[in-house]
Amino acid sequence: MIKIYHNPRCRKSREGLDLLEKSGKEFEVIKYLEDVPTKEELRQILSCLSISPENLVRKNEAIWKEKFRGKLLSDEEILEAMIQYPKLIERPIVVKGNKAVVGRPPERIQEVL
């Protein structure tokens, strides 16, 4: 099953969702600001993306700049920050099996379809 971690207020995320809808494939929408991923779910996503937690963080978010920028954080601390402040999680993320992409630009979603 394809999953999209989606923020309806984000234009890129809406574009990614539109792409999935047009694909005709079944998928599940996870509004991750409401249904915050667990640390284990984030680890799984990171594994599928083959990136470190820091590379999944939206560093231009005010909360990152105010609370975390310039600090030396462990992967665990970054995971905790993303759980506490899910706005920090890059979006949209599309996962299919053991493959995933961050849909920026949204056309990257084609890589997992």
Task: Tell me the CATH number at 81.
Answer: 3.40.30.10
User: Hey, CA dihedral for 38, 93, 50, 67, is it positive or negative?
Assistant: negative
Tally of structural domains, the chain: 1
Containing domain of residue 107, as a range? 2-111
Q: Which residues pair with 30 in a beta bridge?
A: 5
Catalytic residue among 2, 5, 6, 10: 10
Q: Map residue 39 onto helix, strand or coil.
A: helix
Q: What is the pLDDT of residues 35-46, one digit of tens each?
A: 999 999 999 999
- DSSP alpha helices (H): ranges in the chain? 11-23, 39-49, 62-67, 75-84
- Told to judge if 48 belongs to the known catalytic residues of this protein, a careful annotator would answer no
For residues 18 and 82, what is the distance between their CA atoms, to the nearest angstrom?
25
Overall pTM > 0.85: yes
Q: What are the tens digits of pLDDT across the range 23-62?
A: 999 999 999 999 999 999 999 999 999 999 999 999 999 9
